[in-house]
Amino acid sequence: MTTTHCPYCALQCAMRLEPGPDGALAARPADFPTNRGGLCRKGWTSAEVLRTPDRLTTPLLRKDRTAEFTEVDWDTALDHVADRLAGLRAEHGPDSVAVFGSGGLTNEKSYLLGKFARVALGTSQIDYNGRFCMSSAAAGSMRAFGLDRGMPFPLTDVGEADVVLLAGANPAETMPPMMGHLSAPTLIVVDPRRSATAQQALAQGGMHLAPRPGTDLALALGLLHAVRAEGLADTDYIDARTTGFEATWAHAAAWWPEQTEHVTGVPATQIRAAARLLAEASGAYILTGRGTEQHAKGTDTVSAWINLALALGLPGTRGSGYGCITGQGNGQGGREHGQKADQLPGYRKIDDPAARAHVAGVWGVDPDTLPGPGRSAFELLDALGTETGPRAMLLFGSNPAVSAPDAGRVRDRIAALDLLVTADFVLSETAAMADVVLPVAQWAEETGTMTNLEGRVLRRRAAAAPPSGVRTDLEVLHGLATRLGQPAHRFPTEPDTVLAELRAASARGAADYSGVTPERLESGEALHWPVREGAEPTPRLFLDGFAHADGRARFTPVAHRPPAEATDAEFPLIATTGRLMGHYQSGAQTRRVAELAEAEPAVYVEVHPDTAARYGLAEHAWARVTSPRGSTLARVRLRGDARLDTVFLPFHYAGQQAANNLTNPALDPTSRMPEFKVSAVRLEPAAHHTGGENP
């Protein structure tokens, strides 16, 4: 029996992996502060992916994309990849090779992947799927607080508050055990849909504010207006702990609740009532999720929520605060140790000379050899195979053919590459497009650290040996780096050796892990970063001051603007996207679990019955949803509580059922986050697809 943590989301629920009578591992809940003995359906069934019948156990190679894959041995596969990479670099320079990583990777993998890109390949072209996830919240927190740790407090604190506002987060489906922490507070849920979380809020006597998608910024301005107009702002806190309130107020001054109602559709009475609830609470939290963040104005929207929190005196106050609910298992650590285009380990900036000197020292290389910042995730994917873009890509832990915005365009770019190499344990839709597929170990077959949604670093432990023929991601990086001429010791394969290096590289950085030792991890100590060597961890940040030089938090003046794409006669409805309880992300893992696949076998589109009737659609009919970029075939699910102007699709399905065939890659100017949550679409019956689960 091994105690470890779930392979999926950022709650990182603790679980026991126990061999059943047939010897196969089964996951059972274990106690931990985030999950308190609970697991969601995905966690319960997670061990099944270890023995999925289509598990990859041999490297696959093909000479060109029209050929079938052939099974080859590891030396053949790695020699081939290294030769091709060396050839491309020699001919087109180091930036001709791109690396794409993931917030699902352990800290050790994220760190070594960043080092591999900068040192073994010398490329600036590295980014990761967290750009699609946390980047707007990260940028907003940086701006306001000078530091970005999703929740700068333990989750257990949140349960003790009177009021919690959840903006664009649906934890009842995305982190079900978290709801145990949210049963006592009054919840205010901001979501265009009557989500499971919104229903829970109403059942507990709380509120559901249902704005038109893409108008959260206006709503947050309206709430700020109501707070000040009703004399509810915490002026002592604003004076003592912040700067910039008056300039920010100048943008909120026009957002009377009635004006806000006009733009958002949220009744002015509800706006005033929510402002009062928040202001009168003795402890209150404002938490944001992807619904409010995944917009071309996501960073400004997060700033607007933080401005509201600051006006109420919440951040850096014991028992109150602002936090962002991170997403992937290592959504937090994955954005700290260098797989981001502009970053070096320890949350350092790659264009900061002191940061370059420090990290180059740890790596034993000349700082001048380190490349500068590269392209952000979508920009990187969109440049693949173009005149000026990368010609090869190495992919670890993401399935962009399904999960990237405007996925049809991204699939075309991927197809234009000279060389695609993916490391995965199944043939994901993107791996199926590759030239070389490298079969790697899964979470329960290797050790590593993850940083959960509270900034707590924890240990995942190996519970079984990987199947024969499979290597770990660290071994893959080692094998490629040495073939590219790197000394073997520079790319260790032992996770704890990599952790020791990561500790040194992160030391004195913003995200300081220098005290995260295997011994402390094994002891079960709650290691919330920063954890300096020999020092106490930091469960609560900002109580004594914010991370800006003057110790104050900054209000950021932000103005509302409409979504990048407006509805019109041809595309009269708004489509928004998100998650179902039973599937994870691109679905590469959970669509392979029979129980989960049977429960939600196909994509659906949630539509109000009146809207459906208008377009000739009935319950369970197949509909074609079309945006200016492409279309998705989805089964109609009628929802009487839906907005008339908005439809919703989960994004866990592939091919014709991929919601990302629709989505708009308009990017936030600061975070480079795409607008996953607003596309203009039309609905029509898909006449020739009347039966079957898979049109």
Ligand X SMILES: Nc1nc2c(c(=O)[nH]1)N[C@H]1C(S)=C(S)[C@@H](COP(=O)(O)OP(=O)(O)OC[C@H]3O[C@@H](n4cnc5c(=O)[nH]c(N)nc54)[C@H](O)[C@@H]3O)O[C@H]1N2
Q: Which stretch binds ligand SF4 (CB under 6 A): 37-45, 293-301, 369-377, 405-413?
A: 37-45
Judged by CB under 6 A, the chain residues 657 through 686 that form the site for ligand SF4 are: none
Partner touching 172 among Mo ion, ligand SF4, ligand X, none, CB below 5 to 8 Å by kind: none
CB of 93 to ligand SF4, least distance (A): 41
Choices 5-13, 475-483, 562-570, 654-662 (CB under 6 A): range interacting with ligand SF4:
5-13
Q: Is 104 in the site for ligand SF4 (CB under 6 A)?
A: no
Which listed option, Mo ion, ligand SF4, ligand X, none, makes contact with residue 449 (CB within 5 to 8 Å by class)?
none
- Measured from the CB atom, is 5 or 579 closer to ligand X? 579
Residue among 403, 408, 439 nearest 421 (CA): 439
For ligand SF4, the binding residues in 375-394 under the rule CB under 6 A are: none
The three-class DSSP label of residue 669 is coil
Nearest to 78 by CA among 380, 440, 490, 417: 440
Q: How many CA atoms lie within 13 A of 36 on its CB side?
A: 11
Question: Which residues have CB under 8 Å from 317's CB, separation 6+?
Answer: 237, 543
Check residue 581 for interaction with ligand SF4 (CB under 6 A): no
Nearest CB to ligand X, comparing residues 374 and 582: 582
* Residue type at 574 in one-letter notation: I
Cα–Cα dist 673/634, whole Å? 26
Residue 517 partner contact from ligand SF4, ligand X, Mo ion, none using kind-dependent CB cut-offs of 5 to 8 Å: none
Closer to ligand SF4 by CB, 104 or 298: give it: 104
Q: Choose one: 32-40, 64-72, 632-640, 673-681; the region binding ligand SF4 (CB under 6 A).
A: 32-40
User: Minimum Å distance from CB 597 to ligand SF4?
Assistant: 16
Residue number, 340 or 635, with CB nearest to Mo ion: 340
- β-pair partners for 624: 633, 684
Residues whose CB falls within 8 Å of the CB of residue 11, separated by 6 or more in sequence, listed in order:
34, 35, 175, 177, 178, 452, 453
Of 208 and 391, the one with the shorter C-beta distance to ligand X is: 208
Q: Is 89 in the site for ligand SF4 (CB under 6 A)?
A: no
Q: What is the 3-state secondary structure (H, E, C) of 46-100?
A: HHHHHHCCCCCCCCEECCCCCCCCEECCHHHHHHHHHHHHHHHHHHHCHHHEEEE
Give the residue, chosen from 4, 12, 288, 326, that forms a contact with ligand SF4 under the rule CB under 6 A: 12
The per-residue b/e assignment along 211-242, b for 16 or more CB within 10 angstroms, e otherwise, is bbbbbbbbbbbbbbbbbbbeeebbeebbeebb
Measured at the CA of 407, the angle between CA 404 and CA 413, to 5 degrees, comes to: 100
Q: Which does 177 bind (CB under 5 to 8 A by kind): Mo ion, ligand SF4, ligand X, none?
A: ligand SF4
DSSP 532: -
Q: Report, in this order, helix, strand and coil percent for the chain, each rounded to 5.
A: 35, 20, 45
Least spacing, CB of residue 168 vs ligand X, in Å: 3
- Whether 178 and 34 have beta carbons less than 8 Å apart is answered as yes
Kindly tell me which residue out of 17, 25, 42, 170 binds ligand SF4, with binding defined by CB under 6 A: 42
Structure token pair of residue 341? 């285009």
Count of positions (residues) in the chain? 695
Residue 98 interacting partner from Mo ion, ligand X, ligand SF4, none (CB closer than 5 to 8 Å by kind): none
Given the complex with Mo ion, which of 491 and 584 has the nearer CB atom?
584
Beta strands in 290-345 (DSSP E): 321-324, 343-344
Minimum gap (Å) between residue 400 Cβ and ligand X: 6
Which one of ligand X, ligand SF4, Mo ion, none interacts with residue 129, CB within 5 to 8 A by kind?
A: ligand X
- Does 585 participate in binding ligand SF4 (rule CB under 6 A)? no
Task: Select 5 or 672, whichever has its Cβ closest to ligand SF4.
Answer: 5
In the shown chain, the binding pattern of residues 152 to 191 toward ligand SF4, with x for contact by CB under 6 A and - for none, equals: -----------------------xxx--------------
Residue 66 CB, nearest approach to ligand SF4 (Å): 38
Q: Which residue is nearest to Mo ion (CB)?
A: 327
Is residue 456 a contact point for ligand SF4 (CB under 6 A)?
Answer: no
Residue (435 or 454) nearer to ligand SF4, CB? 454
Using CB atoms, what's the residue nearest to ligand SF4? 43
Distance (Å, rounded) from C-alpha 115 to C-alpha 490? 9
3-class SS of residue 406: coil
Distance of closest approach, residue 324 Cβ to ligand X, in angstroms: 9
* Residue 589 binding: pick among ligand X, ligand SF4, Mo ion, none (C-beta 5-8 Å cut-off by kind): ligand X
E strand spans, 213-324: 242-243, 284-288, 321-324
- Tell me the C-alpha distance between 255 and 263, whole Å: 10
Sole residue written with tokens 């105690």:
3
Q: Is 310 in the site for ligand SF4 (CB under 6 A)?
A: no
Among 4, 17, 25, 43, contact with ligand SF4 (rule: CB under 6 A): 43
3-state secondary structure of 527: strand
**Two structure tokens written together for 491:** 């790319």
Please name every residue paired with 638 in a beta bridge, in sequence order, or none if there are none: 607
**Which does residue 683 bind out of Mo ion, ligand X, ligand SF4, none, counting CB within 5 to 8 angstroms by kind?**
none
Phi, psi of 574 (to 5 degrees): -100, 130
Measured from the CB atom, the residue of 167 and 633 that comes closer to Mo ion is: 167
**Closer to ligand X at the Cβ: 120 or 547?**
120
Nearer CB in complex with ligand SF4: 34/514: 34
- Judged by CB, which is closer to ligand X: 362, or 654? 654
Give the Cα separation of 682 and 684 in Å (integer): 7
Using CB under 6 A as the criterion, which residues of the chain lie in contact with ligand X when the complex forms? Answer: 9, 102-105, 129, 132-133, 167-171, 173-175, 190-193, 195, 213-214, 216, 289-292, 294, 327-328, 396-400, 402-403, 423-426, 428, 440, 473, 576-581, 583-586, 588-589, 648, 651, 659-660, 663, 676-677
Quick one: which of 13, 105, 166, 286 contacts ligand SF4 (CB under 6 A)?
13
Measure the CA–CA gap between 495 and 106, rounded to whole angstroms. 9
Using alpha carbons, select from 327, 353, 330 the residue that is nearest to residue 111. 330
Nearest-approach distance from CB 572 to Mo ion, in angstroms? 29
Binding partner of residue 316 among ligand X, Mo ion, ligand SF4, none, CB cut-off 5 to 8 Å per kind: none
Of 47 and 407, which has the nearer Cβ to ligand SF4?
47
Between CA 114 and CA 317 the distance in angstroms is 35
CB of 637 to ligand X, least distance (A): 14
- Nearest Cα neighbor of 190 from 277, 296, 317, 252 is 277
Is residue 187 a contact partner of residue 281, using CB atoms and an 8 Å limit?
no
- Is residue 39 a contact residue for ligand SF4 (CB under 6 A)? yes
Residue 35 contact among ligand SF4, Mo ion, ligand X, none, beta carbon within 5 to 8 Å by kind = ligand SF4
Tell me if 40 contacts ligand SF4 by CB under 6 A: yes
Q: What is the DSSP letter of 466?
A: P
* Rounded distance between C-alpha atoms, residue 471 and residue 467, angstroms: 9
Residue 331: CB partners within 8 Å, gap ≥ 6?
Answer: 10, 103, 130, 133, 134, 150, 453
Select the binding partner of residue 571 from ligand X, ligand SF4, Mo ion, none (C-beta < 5 to 8 A, by kind): none
DSSP for residue 296:
T
Contact residues: ligand SF4, CB under 6 A:
6, 8-9, 11-13, 35, 39-40, 42-43, 175-177
